[in-house]
């Protein structure tokens, strides 16, 4: 009888642990997809390792696609939410919108829709901000960068103001194309995100 109680207790503990474990869904572009890298070296893989090291059981689903825009992410999101039922959604989109010169208001509307859909599904949202190279002109780059802060304030969600802080503009941390972070930059990307991400787990 004692053995049975012990077994039952262990089973209940395992069930409780599994119930507590959540899913982190990352919807991003090439930066989170690990373009040009062995994906095992990307910041998302480093995040998975960090979670295990710090005792979190959360599962990470990386739904990032190289070249994706905010419109593409918005179109993909409903199916991703239905399939994975995440507790946390990390939005890392907008860079390709900016590089293509799309109107910042369009980016803002697409991201706002993704934030609303995620929250309606019961998920928390973390927004990763982006900035553009100065050659796109001050007026456009300022309007683009402001989108993220405006959304975070309006929607009351946590924001990493510039995901590539300390990486963008540093040739030694970028791949030859000057657009994608190199393997040596992936740890920095994780450190940019982790302090804001950890309290949401």
Question: What is the set of active-site residues?
Answer: 30, 177, 180
The residue length of the chain stands at: 201
- 90 forms beta bridges with 26, 126
In angstroms, the Cα distances linking 42 to 13, 121, 159, 187, 195 are 33, 28, 21, 8, 18
Alpha carbon distance 67, 157 (integer Å)? 25
- β strands within the chain, DSSP E: 23-28, 59-62, 88-92, 124-128, 159-160
Question: What are the tokens at 67?
Answer: 């070249």
According to DSSP, residue 42 is labeled S
């Amino acid at each position: 009888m004692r053995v049975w109680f012990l077994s039952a207790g262990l089973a209940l503990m395992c069930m409780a642990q599994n119930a507590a474990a959540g899913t982190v869904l990352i919807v991003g572009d090439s930066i989170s997809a690990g373009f040009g890298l062995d994906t095992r070296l990307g910041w998302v893989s480093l995040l998975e390792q960090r979670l295990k090291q710090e005792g979190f059981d959360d599962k990470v689903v990386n739904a990032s696609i190289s070249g994706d825009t905010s419109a593409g992410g918005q179109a993909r999101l409903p199916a991703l939410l239905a399939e994975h039922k995440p507790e946390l959604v990390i939005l890392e989109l907008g860079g390709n919108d900016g590089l293509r010169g799309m109107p910042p208001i369009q980016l803002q509307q697409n991201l706002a829709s993704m934030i609303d859909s995620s929250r309606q599904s019961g998920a928390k949202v973390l927004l990763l901000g982006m900035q553009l190279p100065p050659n796109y002109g001050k007026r456009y780059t300022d309007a683009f960068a402001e989108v993220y802060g405006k959304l975070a304030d309006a929607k009351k969600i946590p924001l990493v103001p510039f995901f590539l802080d300390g990486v963008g503009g540093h040739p030694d941390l970028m791949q030859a194309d000057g657009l994608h972070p190199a393997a040596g930059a992936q740890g920095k990307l994780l450190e940019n995100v982790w302090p804001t991400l950890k309290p949401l787990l």
